[in-house]
Copies of this chain bind each other. A is one copy, B any other.
Amino acid sequence: MSLTFTATLADRGFDVAFDLAPGETLAVLGPNGAGKSTLLGLLAGLLAPTAGRAELDGTVLFDVGPDRRTLTEPRHRGVSLLAQEALLFPHLTALENVAFGPRSRGVDRGTARATALSWLDRVGAADLAGRRPGHLSGGQAQRVAVARALAADPSLLLLDEPLSALDVTVAPALRTLLRDVLVDRSAIIVTHDPLDAFLLADRVLILDGGTVVESGATASVLTRPVTAFGAHLAGLNLVPGVRTADGFASADGWTVPLTDTAPEDMSLAHSAPENSSLAHSAPEGASLALAVRPGLVTVSRSDTTTQGTACRAAEVDDVEHRGDLVRLHAGGLAADVAPSDVVALGIVPGSRLFLAFRHEDASIYPL
């Protein structure tokens, strides 16, 4: 079930290409309007590309060019789509909605209903089996839609923000269910939640403005982000800079030496150590990125630059309460500090203070 995909859609400024190995799950991330739903729509056959070609395990999904125009019918694509809107059939009950896929594959009525009921049960919606979609709450409808997509048992499963309307008690269970289901299946999942990407996907594709800005194995994209969006996703601070004779220097004044002895793996899960050595051996002037977790950035009233520490003055842009922590945004970095420190330092938006992190807490790699 390998997938190759290249497509442009002129009026949405969409131009994306990627491959997916058999059985792999791909997470598609990106800002609103990046083209994530467009990508799924093209695969499912709801949209026709201006040009491009996609093939799923030898079956051409579409092949459009100046001299050719093959668009396989949606039902012959072996692709099932859970769209961003649930779009449950309003005239069928929840059970009939879920049974629709199996029935369409020719499964007999009784078996289809049994299958449907078991899927409803797995998404925690068995008690809603007899209800019409008009009588479901937003999250209930979403769960039934997930069950419907899974029950169709497609070669390629497309999920557009499947967990967005779900409550906190159900979302983890559904995430676990999806993980089980996706293990041996090709799937593409659109999400805004990096946790979903971490837990469900082998590979990540980050789109912005209709084009691919980052892609690769989940772990490497989320621990070594090369874009601000990727860093956001990973909960990391990302500082772009260049290789200098000494090491790393950013435009806004951060400098970190790159020595052979600098520890490279900051216990970021699955990080790839070879990246830092790559940064180390990068030629002077090459683009580098520095990543550091907000929890490892410290804050003080005075300059604390010491051997092994990078420190800079900055003005506080924003103060966010996050449960038992406070997240400051200052000088392009985020720093998590204890509420007591906020009070002690008298931090409010507009305060000037010093941000610091230890050289060894930063991860530096080539862009």
**A301 at the A/B interface (Cβ < 8 Å)?**
no
Chain A residues touching B, range: 35 or more
* Any B CB within 8 A of the CB of A351: no
A170→B321 contact, CB < 8 A: no
Q: Find A33's partner among B139, B229, B232, B339 (CB 8 Å cutoff).
A: B139
B137 and A167 contact, CB distance less than 8 A: no
Structural contact, A164 and B167, CB atoms closer than 8 A: no
A161 on the B face (CB < 8 A): yes
Given contacts A32-B166, A232-B169, contact A322 B195 (CB under 8 A): yes
The complex places the Cα of A338 from the Cα of B269 at a distance, in Å, of 9
**C-alpha spacing A321/B320, complex, angstroms:** 26
Inter-chain contact B138/A84, CB cutoff 8 Å: yes
A269, B168: Cβ atoms closer than 8 Å: no
> Across chains A and B, which 4 residue pairs bring their CB atoms closest together, nearest first?
A32-B139, A31-B167, A33-B137, A84-B138
Contacts A165-B164, A167-B192, A192-B167 given: A321-B199 contact, CB under 8 Å?
yes
Q: Encode A75-118 as 1/0 by CB contact (under 8 A) with B.
A: 00000000011000000000000000000000000000000000
Q: Is there contact, CB below 8 Å, between A31 and B170? A: yes
CB distance from A32 to the nearest CB of B (A): 3
Q: Is A302 an interface position by the 8 A CB rule? A: no
A31-B169, A32-B140 given; name 9 further pairs at CB < 8 Å.
A30-B167, A32-B138, A32-B167, A37-B138, A84-B138, A168-B229, A168-B233, A222-B323, A269-B323
Chain B contacts for A254, CB-based, 8 A: none
Interface: A318 (CB within 8 A)? yes
Q: Does A235 interact with chain B (Cβ within 8 Å)?
A: yes
* Whole-angstrom CA separation of A199 from B327 in the bound complex: 12
1/0 per position for A306-327, CB-CB distance to B under 8 A? 0000000000001011111000
- As a 0/1 sequence over residues 160 to 177 of chain A, the CB contacts with chain B under 8 angstroms (1 = contact) are 110011111111100110
Collect the chain B residues with CB atoms within 8 Å of residue A161's CB: 138, 165
Residues of B within 8 A of A228 (CB): 169
